[in-house]
Amino acid sequence: MLRRTRIALLVTSFAGFAAWSAVAYAAKPLELHPKPEVDLPFGDDLSFPEGPGSDVVAANCVTCHSVDHTLNQPALSREEWHKVVDKMITAYKAPISKDDAKTIVDYLSRVKGEP
């Protein structure tokens, strides 16, 4: 009999605790957090510097890269830019024609070439 009493007391205590927890949890006010706003350091109008080939670079490179990403690359030699563009075509399958690749290398060598 003592064992049944202990079990009944334990079950009743557990049920009471569960009911109290549910009421206490439900009583918490719902907190809504506003969506964060982020101000980026540059506007949406960031574009490649004007010049011969800028339109070809914009048409081909921004498919995968942002203008900011492209313009923040280190200065490279013409040969290194050729390797980079060739890697985009061969390794990453960028659909760049041979004429556009030459124009891109010329443009990047002029704008982001070694001093």
Q: What is the pLDDT of residues 32-90, one digit of tens each?
A: 777 777 665 655 567 899 999 999 999 999 999 999 899 999 999 999 999 999 999 99
- For residue 41, give the 3-state DSSP assignment: coil
What is the per-residue pLDDT for 115? 79
Alpha helices in 27-61 (DSSP H): 54-61
Question: Which stretches does DSSP call E strand in the chain?
Answer: none
Rounded to whole angstroms, the Cα distance separating 105 from 50 reads 15
What is the per-residue pLDDT for 37? 77
What is the per-residue pLDDT for 93? 95
Asked if pLDDT for residue 14 goes beyond 90, the answer is no
Greater model confidence, 45 or 31 = 31
What is the per-residue pLDDT for 40? 58
Of 113, 98, 110, 104, which Cα lies nearest the Cα of 57? 104
Own/partner long-range contacts of 97-104 (Cβ < 8 Å, ≥24 apart):
100/56, 100/59, 100/60, 103/52, 103/53, 103/56, 103/57, 104/53, 104/56, 104/57, 104/60, 104/61
Provide the 10 A C-beta neighbour count for residue 20: 10
Work out the pLDDT band at 3, boundaries 50, 70, 90: confident
